[in-house]
A and B are shown apart, each in its own frame.
Chain A
């Protein structure tokens, strides 16, 4: 069974460019979560999505960041006009349903470096 897939694993962008991070959840999972780990920090929740719905984006920065999880295809975390402070590891997790009883399975992360 394939686990949560993220690509690319490493992404380098110059300031002002766009970054697109992809997450394919585990088979049968319809709930996706994005977390960000800044250098020397713990993972911090960004957004929770179900297919075609954003359930909770309370952890997303107000500007330049957006996320989607279309009916078909992977979930995308999009960062427009990247700045050096966006350099971080971005982790995606998935679960078969939301809520307490459902373990979140994590992907390997995408490490974004902004030059």
Chain B
């Protein structure tokens, strides 16, 4: 069975600070990896995803994530956060098989950015 661990429950940063949110997964096979964001009162949106190839993935709004296979990690980064990045961030994993659809999510990390 797959599992996803997000290390931080709540992160508080000042604007312009750098961000790194940790995500580790547990699964014996090959995986697809995702980061989703949920802004207050809104739906979950896909920030970025990794299927194969370059382990450094760039997403929307200046976010990027690096897949480190040896560490089973997929940490999310942004060099300089803005107040509008205040949201909850979810890491998710899925078996990479062609017919796979079940996403397994971490518990989420709430990010609060102080102006």
The interface bits of chain A over 99-112 (1 if a CB of B lies within 8 angstroms of the residue's CB, else 0) are: 11011101111000
Q: Number of B interface residues at 8 Å Cβ cutoff, please give it.
A: 28
B42, A108: Cβ atoms closer than 8 Å: yes
Question: How many A-B Cβ pairs are below 8 Å?
Answer: 63
Main secondary structure of the interface of A (DSSP, over half): loop
B98 within 8 A of partner (CB): yes
A72 within 8 A of partner (CB): no
A40 within 8 A of partner (CB): yes
The interface bits of chain B over 70-85 (1 if a CB of A lies within 8 angstroms of the residue's CB, else 0) are: 0000000000000000
B106, A42: Cβ atoms closer than 8 Å: yes
Q: Kindly state the separation between the CA atoms of A25 and B111 in the bound complex, as whole angstroms.
A: 29
B94, A43: Cβ atoms closer than 8 Å: no
Please give the residue numbers on chain B whose beta carbons come within 8 Å of chain A beta carbons, in ascending order: 4, 6, 32, 36, 41-46, 49, 51, 90, 92, 94, 96-108
Please give the residue numbers on chain A whose beta carbons come within 8 Å of chain B beta carbons, in ascending order: 3-4, 31, 33, 35, 37, 40-45, 48, 56, 59, 91, 93, 95, 98-100, 102-104, 106-109
